A and B are shown apart, each in its own frame.
Chain A
């Protein structure tokens, strides 16, 4: 019965996302899907079609007689940066970095947050719930970026892996809270009580009966969290606590272009717009998913 319910719910969600009953849900999600899809395609195809190497300064073609970066042209589609490298090539390479970090850190944060939230919710009022939730409270009291920057500074060397691990292991707190509240709702439902009566173990109940029925909100939060992680990575890179140059990251591209905002706005505009559209895309997709999965709109 439970499995059937999940399948029904998934079908309904797919139906709504793909042009079903609600035009609003459909529009929001479709816009998000288009933007996210574009980002994924750009991250995959961009570095392949880019006409120049993202790491190589071109002192012959990429610089004006005044020693300034050149603007968008046939040779450099989005111009060159302050070190006379191809902005398009760096933007595309940076898209891979952002996407990988955004998704990987979100997966880590979502898994940890879900486990902690389910355990706290299942053992509500007991010592485990108290310990876990107080830990979440303490964690939420610290500014997220401050923790991440401190960890970044403590690490001798920052790579994409250290960044997404850092973001993932510090970004699960909010998810844990939400998952706990959803678990509290689900644990008192009949099918969960029935499973308990049949003598099923707690891990089995959590995995087979609770998790599938709170997966909707988790997916929604996870989608929106990808946007936050992309933004966090950009902020870290902008502040110099992210991946070290010359690896292209959108945040560091913003930093490198800020002194040239007047004379070469494309250096800053390209990563700025990319961050904006990516964050917008994941947020819209998450919002669309939320509406699609909202039982009140069924």
Chain B
């Protein structure tokens, strides 16, 4: 009997405790823990840079490949930029600057680019970078076997088509004219050639990279940092260390940079506050607001445009989006400001394709406007009038809306569904993982509707117009033209812009193309994204980079007190093990 009573009291106590916990949790005030102060710098403003330390970064993503010829994810570029130097590069303002090439000459009415290489530039394996390496690396990257997703950007190089089709083994358009001179011959003028050359895919790789790409190759280039033999623990972390033979004297200042992978936003913020991370930009909205509101942190923060367009991509080959009036109804029916408020700290509403800060952005463009009455009128013209009072009419079928898990679009899609229901379009959200999403979006006849998003590859409107809307990009599988949009006028404008070297005239072509897209609405353009980058006080000379996220060549660490950032989890001994040598800090 005693035993039985004891058993009865335990559950009652458990229930009471649980209820108390439940009430405490449910009605607890918002967590108001104060932010710690930024860790200050030891030296005053203007002090000479100090060498040493490992910069600690983190990301929620992962890296699939560090071969510049095969970049397939969003994180790889910022790492590849550190490991591979190019003939030319973008500076922190996004303008072209010499890199391995100390100068270049444009001849033949814009159809020949001749580059003069610096002497004494060394790969990570100690070999000198020569014009032969440039030609080999270009052919390696553009050969059809490389499956280079950016190859089409270089289609103006003479001989590209045959190499891409694996019908030729060399590229006659790239000519070695001396040990340090290499010329690129184009089949037609290409206004974006320098811009795409400054991208990553054609960057010279060590001779170990061979003439063709290989999955087993250990990345090796001529950039300021190198990947040590055991520097990449897949799925966990990736560390690059200083390249002592880097051609810019005295640079870089850091001993290394480490990315911790698969870190969610909360973990990153927590580690940053503890001083285990030096820079963070993957903030959840509440945390971002806390940092923003704290005057102690504000001097070490910047807002950086991601140069990204977010919108709703409609497949014009699948009903109901084969009806232009339905597409116009969507473009007018979405409330861009409401969508922005889902993540107001990172989003800005837009009504055009080309983001601000990218050449071709048109501040005078009328663009797509949110207009509920106009949306209803477009539905009427489409033949599917909707009565918002009786809530009758509209498109009679449910439209699947494909979205991927854990993305911002998963949340935006839910608000979008509310908005489109008010004009007679009922959507049903289908969530898949990211690789499936990409596969289905790029497959003909697979997806009618879903979020569209595109990040610039280079700072020019063509980086958006061509991959997303040129009909030559349409393929049965793997296309980036998710709308399967084909418009000869758009194709012509893009092709003409490609050859137009005069900036003003090219800009007019872009504006004309944007006017057509505004009206034809293969996408409903909706938002631009911007990052909030927060640094610790001791991170010096760090700049956000418009292309590569971080400009790290001149960054240095100057922590006033305590261990060097990341030391607890990345010891001097550990770094020495990576390098196979002693480390001078």
Contacts and interface: CB of A to CB of B under 8 A. Distances in A.
Interface of A: 22-28, 31, 35, 55-57, 59, 63, 66-68, 71-72, 78, 82-83, 153, 156-157, 240, 244-246, 256, 258-266, 269-270, 272-273, 276-277, 280, 284, 287, 291, 297
B287 interface: yes
B30 A71 contact: yes
Contacts of A265: 25, 28, 30-31
A28 B12 CA distance: 7
Nearest to A260: B286
A264 B284 CA distance: 12
A24 to B, nearest CB: 3
Interface stretch (B127-135, B423-431, B479-487, B563-571): B423-431
A260 B284 contact: yes
A280 B19 CA distance: 11
Contacts of A270: 26
Contacts of A71: 30
Contacts of A68: 285-286, 289
Contacts of B284: 259-260
A25 B417 CA distance: 50
- Which of B8, B25, B418, B431 gathers most chain A CB within 10 Å? B8
Contacts, number: 124
A277 B4 contact: no
Contacts of B429: 244-246
Given A22-B4, A24-B7, A245 B30 contact: no
12 contacts: A22-B4, A27-B8, A27-B12, A68-B285, A78-B26, A82-B411, A245-B413, A263-B289, A264-B30, A272-B25, A277-B18, A280-B18
List 6 A-B pairs, minimum CB-CB distance, nearest first: A263-B286, A24-B8, A259-B284, A27-B8, A262-B31, A67-B344
Interface in B1-34: 4-9, 11-12, 14-15, 18-19, 22, 25-28, 30-31, 33
A79 to B, nearest CB: 10
B11 A31 contact: yes
A261 B4 contact: no
A244 B8 contact: no
A210 B193 CA distance: 82
Nearest to B12: A27
Contacts of B287: 262-263
A264 B26 CA distance: 10
B341 A63 contact: yes
A273 B8 contact: no
A259 B285 contact: yes
B266 A55 contact: no
Given A57-B414, A263-B31, A263-B289, 15 more contacts: A24-B5, A24-B8, A27-B9, A27-B12, A28-B8, A55-B418, A245-B413, A259-B284, A263-B287, A264-B30, A269-B22, A269-B28, A272-B25, A276-B18, A287-B11
A31 B12 contact: yes
A22 B14 CA distance: 19
Nearest to A82: B411
A209 B254 CA distance: 80
Contacts of A273: 22, 25-26
B12 A83 contact: no
Interface of B is mostly: helix
B522 to A, nearest CB: 25
B406 interface: yes
A156 B345 CA distance: 34
Contacts of B400: 157
Nearest to A297: B4
B8 A259 contact: no
User: How many of chain B's residues touch chain A, expressed as a range?
Assistant: 35 or more
A256 B414 CA distance: 12
Contacts of B290: 263
B265 interface: yes
B266 A246 contact: no
A125 to B, nearest CB: 38
A260 B418 CA distance: 22
Contacts of A272: 25
B405 A277 contact: no
Contacts of B431: 240, 244-245
B55 to A, nearest CB: 26
B25 A67 contact: no
Nearest to A31: B15
B285 to A, nearest CB: 7
B338 interface: yes
Interface in B386-403: 400
Interface string B521-550: 000000000000000000000000000000
A291 B400 CA distance: 50
Contacts of B18: 276-277, 280
Given A259-B265, A259-B285, A245 B22 contact: no
A31 B7 CA distance: 13
B7 A83 contact: no
B342 interface: yes
B410 interface: yes
B578 interface: no
A261 B285 CA distance: 11
A244 B428 contact: yes
Residue among B284, B400, B417 having the largest count of chain A Cβ atoms under 10 Å: B284
Interface string B342-360: 1011000000000000000
B501 to A, nearest CB: 44
B427 to A, nearest CB: 10
B4 A24 contact: yes
Contacts of B417: 246
B199 to A, nearest CB: 33
Contacts of A57: 338, 414-415, 418
A10 B27 CA distance: 42
Contacts of A246: 414, 417-418, 429
A23 B25 contact: no
Contacts of A25: 4, 8
A63 B338 CA distance: 11
A262 B30 contact: yes
A265 B30 CA distance: 6
Contacts of B12: 27, 31
A259 to B, nearest CB: 4
A138 B431 CA distance: 30
Interface string B411-447: 1011101100000000011110100000000000000
